[in-house]
Amino acid sequence: MVQKIKHACKFKKVGHAGTLDPLAEGVLLILTDADTKRQSEFMSLRKEYMVKIAFGYESDSHDLRTPVRPLGATVANKLTRDALQNALGKYMGKICQQVPAYSAVHVDGKRLYNFARGNQSTTLPLPYKEIEIYDITICSFKNNEQLNYPEIKDEQIICTTAELRVSCGKGTYIRSLVRDLGKDLGCGAVAVFLIRTKVDGYTVENGLPLEKVLLEHLKS
């Protein structure tokens, strides 16, 4: 996205303030020219995400980009909203979070996702980062929801799902939060949908799709 905007709009410098997961969509702050010097300032802004979770499954990437495996289906089927709410308490405030193997974090001069794609991540110690979560709200909770996702080998799956709204600081991996919740609840969990809805006062509602940015530039 950065390269497309730079080349199409003829800015001298283009950067961004916070990578989005390949699975994710939503708000990405694009910085141009002089504003690129303020990257750390924009990176530190509070972010908000909506994530949909399927319990009873796990994957190496903690989402649907790698093969999904059933795990703890019996426990997942009996999961309650109250149990999920209780599990969320330990993640409030400043915590140490282990980064996912499929991430852009550098280890030994190489991004972790390069190790993961080469099947080297199983023996590589994943680093921890201090992050801060300000609020987690359960927006929906359903037992026996039918999901249809082409990434999941079964044509249809029926599982317990939840949608969470997460307000957090920089460096937070929502996929790691999903992974850790699954472990705490004893049934595994994967993110099936993730959107960054807000970065401070910048919201998905007042954002511009890349195609519109490029089109507006061509018009001008």
Residues recognised as catalytic: 21
**Minimal CA–CA distance to 76: which of 165, 142, 148, 153?**
142
What tokens were used for 124?
Answer: 């590589």
Q: Read off the DSSP letter of residue 106.
A: E
- H and E: helices and strands count for the chain: 7, 13
| Residue 128 identity | Y
Residues 196 and 46 sit within 8 Å (Cβ to Cβ) = no
